[in-house]
Amino acid sequence: MQDLGIRVLIEGNNLYRLMGGLLITIRIAIISAIISILFGIPFGIVMTSKNKLVRFVCRTYLEAVRIIPVMVWLFIFYFGVPKLTGIHIAGDVVSVIVFSIWGTAEMGDLVRGAVTSLPKHQKESGKAIGLTNLQIYSYIIIPQSIRRLLPGTINLVTRMIKTTSLVVLIGVVEVLKVGQQVIESFVLQSPSASFWVYGFIFFLYFIICYPISLFARKLELRWKE
Amino acid sequence: MALLEVIGLNKYFDGFHVLKDISFSVEKGEVVVILGPSGSGKSTLLRCINGLEEIQSGQIKLNGEVINEDSTKWHLIRQKIGMVFQSYDLFPHMTVFENILLGPLKAQKRDKKEVARQAEELLNRVGLLDRKNFYPRQLSGGQRQRVAIVRALCMNPELMLFDEVTASLDPEMVREVLDVMLELAKEGMTMIIVTHEMEFAKAVADRIIFLDGGEITEVAGAQEFFTDPKTERAKNFLNIFNFKEYKKGVDNNEKI
């Protein structure tokens, strides 16, 4: 049989299916990233607390997320939690939950780093002009931290997009899984299918992540002025 | 009634007794300079007065009202006590004007037009009106400190605290900052100043408080303190700044 070559991508509704898979990947990544940033900022600020107990709890959460692989978290929520509670959560929801737990912890640590790297005098100057703590954070600490946060946050978001490939393991059909299905059904007609399909997926990841990096670089340059 | 009254203030840092039973008062319109060797607790004392440091015992009264209770809303008290620090402490992401307006607008919720007018007038007085839209990094150290002073003044404080504001400036910039402070003193601003500039202290102070090892060892009028210090420690301290005995080419050992 003649090899379809690159045409495997447009054969049948393959392209449509791959794009559908990509959409699921992006949706999980974007929703998780937004949740992570929203929760990560306050979490990071709490991490700078002087209270030892508060710091201990935050630290434990962060370390737990770092030590336990994301894959294990996915299994815990997808297979473990239903056994324990009888509540079954859909795979894509589990993905968003796990990625948000992971992202919030990582984002929090980035925020903590950015906030503590500001000179102590910035906060004290804010106090000295009679601002409340909330005002100090909203007008002084957070605006200055955001610039320091940018590189790390972009890195985190691209890592999240890439790590979504793990959700296959709990049955979510995202772009990589669609790719596998396409390869499986076309491998006889087109032995080189895996090259073209995975190559295309590589390209898809690239065109999502690269603009994000470009955008970050542009912002950084603009803020430097 | 004194504007500020400190009664029996004690402060510990990790068990180390940094301020020992400090009591003094400052009248309205008075300029008090705190002198003493480094590590004697001068800066810590200033920081206690506007609540940047907790104290373990004693009272601080502003206009007769105790301000160091648990229920104290420090952010309200600090609107009445301006403070300028040693390090350049302007907010780097804001222009000079935004730096000055932040406190009056957000903390005091004053009218923007009125505050802007006052800010321009103050900037003009310190000779920096043309820099109002500059960012702090575009200014020299001396200019930044003058802006920091304006930022504190724009809150209309009743008392100003200056914590070694010229200590990290290049020598040629010290004068421009000290001149602003002398001007303020002349206008009757109540000030507590920590400084190492002896000549400036002599010129600006109504009273000198000498702090050594966390204790007030001498309180005297400026003239009296510099010409006739009562305690041995103050004498030794003042002698550090006396270079007359050390002339080039003279072997100091011979004298002994």
Question: pLDDT digit string (tens) for B34-58?
Answer: 999 888 899 999 999 999 998 999 9
Distance from C-alpha of B185 to C-alpha of B200, rounded to nearest angstrom: 12
User: B52 CB near a chain A CB, below 8 Å?
Assistant: yes
Instruction: Classify A160 in phi/psi space as left (phi over 0), alpha (psi -120 to 50) or beta.
Output: alpha
According to the per-residue pLDDT averaged within each range, which of B68-77, B146-155, B213-222 is highest?
A: B146-155
* Nearest-CB residue to A125 (from B76, B85, B107): B85
Query: Is a pLDDT exceeding 80 seen at residue B152?
Result: yes
Structure-token pair, residue A57: 């709890």
* Nearest-CB residue to A127 (from B52, B148, B152): B52
Distance from CA of A30 to the nearest CA of B (A): 29
Buried b (16+ CB within 10 A) or exposed e, B30-41: bbbbbbbbeebb
H or E stretch including B209? strand B207-212
Q: In order of start, what are the domains of chain A with their CATH numbers?
A: 5-224 (1.10.3720.10)
Asked whether the beta carbons of residue A129 and residue B90 sit closer than 8 angstroms, the reply is no
Instruction: Write out pLDDT tens, residues B160-199.
Output: 999 999 888 888 889 889 999 999 999 999 999 999 888 8
Q: What percent of chain B has pLDDT over 70?
A: 94
Mutate to test the interface with A, among B87, B150, B158 (most CBs of A within 10 A): B87
Asked whether the beta carbons of residue B89 and residue A140 sit closer than 8 angstroms, the reply is no
pTM across the whole model: 0.77
Distance from C-alpha of B187 to C-alpha of B212, rounded to nearest angstrom: 31
- What ipTM is given for this predicted complex? 0.84
**Pairing, β B65-66 against β B81-84:** unpaired
Overall size of chain A counted in residues: 225
**Pairing, β B57-62 against β B65-66:** antiparallel
Which chain A positions have a beta carbon within 8 Å of B155's beta carbon?
129-130
Which chain B positions have a beta carbon within 8 Å of A128's beta carbon?
50, 52, 78, 82-83, 85, 152
Instruction: Write out pLDDT tens, residues A124-140.
Output: 999 999 999 899 999 99
Which chain B positions have a beta carbon within 8 Å of A147's beta carbon?
93
- Total Cβ atoms within 10 A of residue A57: 14
Q: In order of start, what are the domains of chain B with their CATH numbers?
A: 4-242 (3.40.50.300)
Of the candidates B151, B150, B200, B147, the one whose C-alpha atom is nearest the C-alpha of residue B171 is: B200
Digit-by-digit pLDDT tens for chain A (225 residues) are 566 677 777 777 888 888 888 888 889 999 999 999 999 999 999 998 888 999 999 999 999 999 999 999 999 989 988 888 888 888 889 999 999 999 999 999 999 998 888 888 899 999 999 999 899 999 999 888 888 888 888 889 988 888 888 888 887 888 888 888 888 888 888 888 888 888 988 988 888 888 888 888 888 787 765
CB-facing half-sphere around the CA of B70: CA atoms within 13 A: 0
Residue type, A194: S
Strand order in the sheet with B191-194: B81-84, B159-163, B191-194, B31-35, B207-212, B215-221
Distance from CA of B78 to the nearest CA of A (A): 5
